[in-house]
């Protein structure tokens, strides 16, 4: 009967709202709690609390949103398998309906949209920037990765990827055309030959110029197949590139490697451009030889002179390292001699040979003692050979320091080369006076090559350093007195005269340009008045023009100082490590309007085209990697040029990753 008097148990109300599909309702002590199935957050689950707060939480729940995205992508994949969804692109390459996923987090809002065209361009940019093969888009692993990452993306074929890359090239080429057309100064070029794995030769034509912001720019313009064995074919290829870019009237100089065919090709281009007066009358500045290449010749000749002693040192190091007992014996004898480790070089890499010789010099006495106490060791260099090695290694050390200066700046201006080349020359003069016939004969051999280089490029280096306000003519006088001794005054006078003639030509061109601009303005202002106003500017109608000439020739006009005179007479600017020569001319261009135009052209000359990194320095020339060698010539040019142009656009990102593909592999 007691059981019949108990009140009936209250049945739990059935949860009818769909919001409870994402929550688990549990009792905690006397309270009902709703626990989110996605993020485990606890909220009130009481029936009196309603479900609005639960719905609001789901809108903010990040894990819930990510789960929904995964579900949608899973549905897309399933539909793709069933063939019920078409993620292709139309003929006009318009994007399909975007995947628009939105969620709120407080006051923030995130929208994820898929853009087919943007993804196609990003993929092509990636291929160009990093040198990936076009066929990578057809690789199974790449396709699976992209499909799982973004199932909406329709992966292109190899031909499709090539087409997009070529579109990017054409667009970037148009931008480059606009840049070159608006340049305030002239352009200097470098012409460099490359070789493919099929032994096909290519001409890499690179433009150097100082832009409106006084920044030195370097842009590859062409990468074309050529026949380098005929100077005519090479010159025709250069002229074709000049006219196609419409820069034949803006050309200032061409820098080439030290090769007779290259030199003759430059002469042909110079002669053709001289016919229409497109280049300056001072043709000595037009032809420039690679400065770094002369350093390479020096390295080759020095190592050739050290060939015999290098063999002895290499075998000596190998003998010491032949056994652990011998190494310990040598180390005991070499206590407190040097901290450098003995290394065996790689004979095909001169940098490693230099390191081996430099380290071995510190152990010269130890090797001599080892030979005295070890009857099996018979190849120690003699004292004369050690002295010869010390002298030539010191010279090589100077050469390496100079190459490091050349490679220290991203795009070095022409003014930095003069003192470094002069130091190389002075040391060479010193070696040519050595009592060691091996050293002196080697030095004289190098000096012949150096003099040949200086005869072509010496004036360019000298004029460039005069336009450095820290040095002007003073540095020229300092070095010439040491280099040319009794002939120094004559050489200095020749440089001074050359600079004055060059400035005079710039003055004339500046006057003509101002006159033409003024005349254009007069023509515009007098439109509609032709036949009414007399044409007094026409010399043929001015009967007193002869009198003006007579007056100019017979009048005694005192000499007026030019901009060049004022510049050279002013005190030199203090030397400091942070000096920026281009910024100096940018600031002082209003003070020297004509001279600054001249400085813009000369400081932008390419003085060195060779790789100036000592570790990679080689005379064999540059070789395209296997991937680029397999491309057709038109695609190769597009990929090489666009890779170079896009490098500037993505410069900050690439600098952080340092992952762009180099154009070349090891030199031959």
Give the whole-angstrom CA distance, residue 416 versus residue 577: 12
Distances (CA, A) of 210 to 254, 417, 604: 16, 18, 6
Distances (CA, A) of 62 to 20, 58, 104, 148, 314: 18, 8, 9, 21, 66
Q: What's the pLDDT score for residue 96?
A: 34
Q: What's the pLDDT score for residue 469?
A: 97
| DSSP letter for each residue of 635-659 | HHHHHHHHHHHHHHHTHHHHHHH--
Specify which residues 287 forms β-bridges with.
254
Q: Helix, strand or coil for residue 221?
A: strand
Specify which residues 501 forms β-bridges with.
none
Q: What's the pLDDT score for residue 621?
A: 61
User: Six-digit token pair at 581?
Assistant: 């020569």
Specify which residues 33 forms β-bridges with.
26, 44
Give the whole-angstrom CA distance, residue 504 versus residue 508: 6
User: Six-digit token pair at 26?
Assistant: 């549990």
Give the whole-angstrom CA distance, residue 401 versus residue 390: 17
How long a stretch of residues is the chain? 668
User: Six-digit token pair at 90?
Assistant: 């139309």
User: Six-digit token pair at 128?
Assistant: 């160009």
Exposure b/e, 263-280, CB count within 10 A at least 16 = b: ebbbebbbebbeeeeebb
Distances (CA, A) of 487 to 399, 433, 515, 552: 26, 19, 43, 37
Alpha-carbon dihedral 217, 222, 227, 229, rounded to 10 degrees: -10
User: Six-digit token pair at 180?
Assistant: 């070159």
For 652, residues 6+ apart whose C-beta sits below 8 A from its C-beta are: none
Domain ranges within the chain, ordered by starting residue: 125-162, 164-291+622-656, 292-494
For tokens 């009481």, name the residue.
Answer: 46
Distances (CA, A) of 152 to 67, 72, 166, 558: 18, 11, 24, 81
Specify which residues 188 forms β-bridges with.
208, 253
For 655, residues 6+ apart whose C-beta sits below 8 A from its C-beta are: none
- Cα angle 420, 421, 426 (rounded to 5 degrees) comes to 100
Distances (CA, A) of 130 to 83, 124, 161, 647: 35, 10, 14, 10
Q: Which of 609, 642, 641, 643 is nearest to 241 (CA)?
A: 641
Give the whole-angstrom CA distance, residue 254 versus residue 456: 12
Give the whole-angstrom CA distance, residue 487 versus residue 481: 8
Alpha helices in 486-538 (DSSP H): 488-525
Cα-atom radius of gyration of the chain, to the nearest Å? 37
Alpha helices in 248-347 (DSSP H): 260-275, 291-305, 307-320, 324-333
Give the whole-angstrom CA distance, residue 72 versus residue 101: 10
Alpha-carbon dihedral 607, 652, 634, 271, rounded to 10 degrees: -20
Tell me the mean pLDDT per 10 residues along the chain, length 668.
47 66 84 87 82 82 63 57 45 38 45 81 92 92 90 90 96 96 95 87 95 95 88 91 94 86 88 79 86 90 94 94 91 82 87 92 92 92 95 94 80 92 95 94 94 94 97 96 94 94 88 55 45 40 65 60 94 91 97 96 91 41 80 93 86 59 52
Q: Are 316 and 380 in contact (CB under 8 A)?
A: yes
Please give the CATH architecture assigned to the domain spanning 164-291+622-656.
2-Layer Sandwich (3.30)
Strand order in the sheet with 42-44: 23-28, 31-36, 42-44
624: DSSP letter: B
């Amino acid at each position: 009967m007691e059981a019949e008097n108990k009140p009936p148990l209250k049945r739990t109300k059935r949860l009818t709202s769909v919001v409870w599909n994402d929550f688990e309702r549990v009792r905690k002590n006397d309270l009902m709690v709703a626990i989110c199935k996605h993020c485990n957050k606890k909220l009130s689950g009481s029936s009196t609390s309603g479900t609005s707060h639960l719905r609001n939480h789901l809108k903010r729940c990040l894990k819930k949103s990510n789960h929904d995205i995964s579900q949608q992508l899973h549905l897309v994949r399933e539909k793709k398998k069933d063939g019920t969804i078409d993620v292709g692109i139309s003929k006009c390459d318009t994007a399909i309906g975007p995947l628009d996923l939105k969620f709120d987090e407080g006051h923030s809002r995130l929208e994820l949209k898929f853009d087919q065209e943007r993804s196609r361009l990003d993929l092509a940019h990636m291929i160009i920037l990093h040198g990936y093969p076009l066929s990578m888009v057809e690789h199974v692993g790449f396709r699976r990765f992209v499909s799982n990452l973004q199932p909406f993306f329709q992966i292109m074929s190899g031909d499709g990827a090539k087409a997009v890359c070529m579109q990017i090239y054409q667009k970037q080429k148009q931008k480059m055309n606009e840049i070159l057309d608006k340049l305030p100064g002239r352009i200097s070029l470098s012409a460099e030959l490359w070789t493919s794995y099929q032994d096909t030769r290519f001409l890499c034509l690179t433009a150097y110029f100082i832009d409106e912001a006084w920044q030195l720019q370097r842009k590859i313009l062409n990468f074309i197949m050529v026949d380098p064995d005929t100077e005519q074919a090479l010159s025709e290829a250069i002229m074709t590139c000049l006219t196609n870019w419409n820069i034949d009237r803006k050309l200032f100089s061409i820098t080439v490697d030290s090769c007779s065919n290259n030199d003759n090709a430059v002469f042909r281009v110079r002669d053709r451009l001289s016919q229409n007066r497109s280049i300056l009358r001072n043709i000595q500045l037009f032809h420039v030889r690679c400065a770094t290449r002369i350093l390479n010749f020096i390295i080759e000749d020095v190592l050739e002179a050290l060939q015999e002693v290098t063999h002895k040192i290499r075998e000596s190091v190998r003998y010491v390292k032949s056994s652990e007992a011998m190494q310990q014996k040598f180390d005991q004898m070499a206590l407190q001699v040097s901290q450098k480790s003995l290394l065996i070089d790689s004979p095909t890499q001169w940098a490693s040979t230099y390191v081996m010789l430099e380290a071995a010099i510190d152990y010269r006495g130890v090797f001599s003692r080892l030979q005295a106490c070890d009857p099996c060791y018979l190849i120690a260099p003699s004292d004369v050979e050690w002295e010869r090695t010390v002298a030539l290694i010191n010279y090589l050390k100077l050469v390496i320091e100079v190459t490091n200066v050349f490679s220290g700046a991203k795009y070095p201006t022409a003014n930095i080369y003069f003192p470094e080349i002069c130091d190389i020359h002075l040391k060479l003069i010193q070696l040519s006076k050595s009592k060691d016939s091996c050293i002196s004969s080697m030095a004289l051999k190098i000096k012949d090559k150096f003099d040949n280089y200086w005869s072509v490029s010496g004036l360019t280096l000298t004029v460039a350093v005069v336009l450095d306000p820290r040095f002007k003519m003073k540095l020229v006088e300092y070095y010439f007195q040491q280099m040319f001794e009794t002939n120094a005054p004559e050489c200095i006078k020749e440089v001074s005269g050359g600079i004055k003639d060059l400035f005079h030509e710039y003055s004339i061109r500046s006057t003509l340009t101002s006159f033409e601009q003024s005349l254009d303005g007069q023509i515009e202002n007098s439109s509609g008045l032709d036949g009414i106003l007399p044409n007094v500017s026409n010399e043929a109608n001015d009967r007193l023009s002869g009198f003006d000439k007579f007056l100019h020739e017979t009048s005694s006009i005192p000499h007026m100082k030019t901009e060049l005179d004022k510049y050279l007479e002013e005190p030199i600017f203090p030397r400091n490590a942070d000096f920026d020569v281009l910024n100096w001319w940018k600031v002082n261009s209003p003070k020297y309007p004509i001279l600054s135009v001249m400085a813009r052209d000369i400081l932008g000359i390419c003085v060195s085209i060779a790789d100036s990194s000592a570790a990679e320095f080689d005379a064999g020339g540059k070789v395209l990697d296997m991937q680029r060698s397999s491309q057709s010539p038109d695609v190769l040019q597009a990929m090489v040029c666009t890779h170079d142009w896009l490098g500037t656009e993505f410069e900050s990102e690439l600098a952080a990753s340092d992952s762009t593909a180099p154009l070349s592999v090891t030199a031959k």
